[in-house]
């Protein structure tokens, strides 16, 4: 098997520098508003190999961020978070100095509560605190690979129930602060459940991942919440071992592009008196199998 460093040297259009052992790489030498087909193909390969890639000093408008995303797939329009008036497929994640709640402040993978969750997310840093507000990522491939054969076999039989209710139901915190603070609780959607395999096979790499989204799950399919809780909590604790993670410190103009099919992420809420503004485009994914 090639080492990460050898793979990293195998690109012509971009430079790829892994930032941790399990996942994550910084890509340099490209302007994301000006890519040819070969550069797009290399970025896609770097994403598949590193699961999350980061770029610095980019300049996205809503339109150019959409155009960047469309080179990799179809855009997803969020079911519950309102987009920009003129660009409904783009939304901003704004945390004001006075906000307590921070969007994404628990380990999750985007849109796990949808039948067809997000393939990838492209997040652009617009206004970044001097310190704090990092995003952490964990590899669900690494989490799967580290399980015993017996555990892999057992989990391979299980399905997990996800719900939109935890984050968008009428009791969700985000109606008080956070991205939905302008939304009326009366607009809270009907709670809807979907069932996904607990172990999913990545459609492009063929690798297996422990498909967890701690924010969004309800229970194991066919079991009660009480019965599911000990195993799911144990798996969640396992999945975020420091060895499986990386952490990105944002600057204005940074871009993170992550694969939601094999990672979780966590927005660190450690900047109580600062503003943070991010702009997001999401790529549509397939039904997990
Ligand atoms: C997201 C998210 C994390 C962050 O955009 O899906 O979880 O650090 N954001 O803002
Ligand atoms: Mn997220």
Determine whether 108 is an active site residue.
yes
Question: Which pLDDT score is estimated for 179?
Answer: 59
CB of 194 within 8 A of CB of 113?
A: yes
Question: Which pLDDT score is estimated for 23?
Answer: 98
Rounded Cα distance, 204 and 218, in Å: 28
Q: Report which of 259, 160, 159 is spatially closest to residue 207, judged by C-alpha positions.
A: 259
Q: Report which of 106, 194, 196 is spatially closest to residue 155, judged by C-alpha positions.
A: 196
Question: Which pLDDT score is estimated for 174?
Answer: 62
Question: Which pLDDT score is estimated for 69?
Answer: 98
Determine whether 202 is an active site residue.
no
What are the tokens at 152? 């892999």
Predicted confidence pLDDT, tens digits, the chain (289 residues): 666 555 556 999 999 999 999 999 999 999 999 999 999 999 999 999 999 999 999 999 999 999 999 999 999 999 988 899 999 999 999 999 998 888 999 999 999 999 999 999 999 999 999 999 999 999 999 999 999 999 999 999 999 999 998 888 877 766 655 556 656 666 778 889 999 999 999 999 999 999 999 999 999 999 999 999 999 999 999 999 999 999 999 999 999 999 999 999 999 999 999 999 999 999 999 999 9
CB of 79 within 8 A of CB of 88?
A: no
CB of 75 within 8 A of CB of 283?
A: yes
Rounded Cα distance, 114 and 194, in Å: 7
Total residues found in the chain within this entry: 289
Question: Which pLDDT score is estimated for 3?
Answer: 64
- Residue 104 in contact with ligand 1 by CB distance below 6 A: yes
Atom 3 in ligand 1: residue holding the nearest Cα: 267
Residue carrying the six token digits 């592009």: 257
Q: Single out the catalytic residue among 89, 99, 110, 259.
A: 110
Strand segments (E) across 174-275: 193-197, 199-201, 208-210, 217-220, 245-248, 255-259, 263-267
Task: Say how many Å lie between the CA of residue 180 and the centre of ligand 1.
Answer: 14
The protein residues having their C-beta less than 5 angstroms from ligand 2 (an ion) are 104, 110
- H helix and E strand count, the chain: 7, 16
Task: Say how many Å lie between the CA of residue 123 and the centre of ligand 1.
Answer: 7
Angle (CA) 232-235-240 rounded to 5° is 130
Determine whether 265 is an active site residue.
yes
Report the DSSP beta bridge partners of residue 95: 276
Question: Which pLDDT score is estimated for 198?
Answer: 98
Question: Which pLDDT score is estimated for 248?
Answer: 98
Rounded Cα distance, 50 and 58, in Å: 20
Q: Which run of H or E residues covers position 61?
A: none
CA torsion angle 55 60 66 71 (round to 10): -40
């Amino acid at each position: 098997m090639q080492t990460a460093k050898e793979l990293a040297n195998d690109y012509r259009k971009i430079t790829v520098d892994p930032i941790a052992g399990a996942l994550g790489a910084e890509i340099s030498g490209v302007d994301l508003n000006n890519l040819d087909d070969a550069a797009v193909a290399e970025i896609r390969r770097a994403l598949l190999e590193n699961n999350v890639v980061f770029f610095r000093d980019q300049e996205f408008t809503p339109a150019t961020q959409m155009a960047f995303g469309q080179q990799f797939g179809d855009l997803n329009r969020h079911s519950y978070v309102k987009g920009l008036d003129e660009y409904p497929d783009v939304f901003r994640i704004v945390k004001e100095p006075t906000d307590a709640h921070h969007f994404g402040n628990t380990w999750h993978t985007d849109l796990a509560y949808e039948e067809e969750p997000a393939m990838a997310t492209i997040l652009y840093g617009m206004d970044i605190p001097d310190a704090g507000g990092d995003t952490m990522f964990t590899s669900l491939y690494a989490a799967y690979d580290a399980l015993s054969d017996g555990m892999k076999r057992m989990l391979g039989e299980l399905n997990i129930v996800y719900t939109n209710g935890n984050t968008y139901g009428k009791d969700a915190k985000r109606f008080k602060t956070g991205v939905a603070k302008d939304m009326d609780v009366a607009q809270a959607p009907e709670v809807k459940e979907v069932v996904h395999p607990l172990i999913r096979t990545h459609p492009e790499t063929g690798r297996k991942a422990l498909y967890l989204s701690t924010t969004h799950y309800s229970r194991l399919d066919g079991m009660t919440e009480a019965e599911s809780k000990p195993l799911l909590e144990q798996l969640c604790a396992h999945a975020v071992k420091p060895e499986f993670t990386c952490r990105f410190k944002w600057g204005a103009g940074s871009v993170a592009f992550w694969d939601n099919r094999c990672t979780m992420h966590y927005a660190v809420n450690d900047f109580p008196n600062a503003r943070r503004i991010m702009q997001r485009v999401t790529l549509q994914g397939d039904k997990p199998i």
